[in-house]
């Protein structure tokens, strides 16, 4: 008797599910605009973190003198 074949279907992540719903509800242009906006938010957060870190390093260097 042979064993049944094993199917290796990946379970979609929550993000994949949200993207699927998004694609059903929005037109392509809106999706692109939303993704671009989110990318900008992430980039702004990264820059703010870098500025904060640079300021902290400069302040530490100034107090050592």
Cβ–Cβ under 8 Å, residues 31 and 23: yes
d(CA 12, CA 6): 18
Q: Which residues does 23 contact at the CB level (< 8 Å), separation at least 6?
A: 31
What is the model's pLDDT at position 46?
97
Whole-model pTM: value is: 0.54
pLDDT band at 5 (very low <50, low <70, confident <90, very high): low
pLDDT score at 6: 61
What token pair was written down for 60? 């530490």
The secondary structure element, H or E, covering residue 12 is none
Query: For the segment 12-65, what is each residue's pLDDT rounded down to a tens digit?
Result: 788 888 888 877 877 778 888 888 999 999 999 999 999 999 999 999 999 986
Provide the pLDDT for residue 3.
Answer: 65
Other beta carbons within 10 angstroms of residue 52's beta carbon come to: 10
């Amino acid at each position: 008797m042979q064993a049944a074949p094993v199917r290796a279907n990946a379970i979609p992540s929550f993000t994949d599910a949200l993207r699927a719903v998004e694609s059903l509800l929005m037109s392509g242009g809106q999706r692109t605009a939303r993704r671009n906006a989110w990318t900008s938010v992430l980039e702004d957060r990264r820059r703010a973190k870098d500025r904060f870190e640079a300021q902290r390093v400069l302040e530490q260097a100034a107090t050592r003198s």
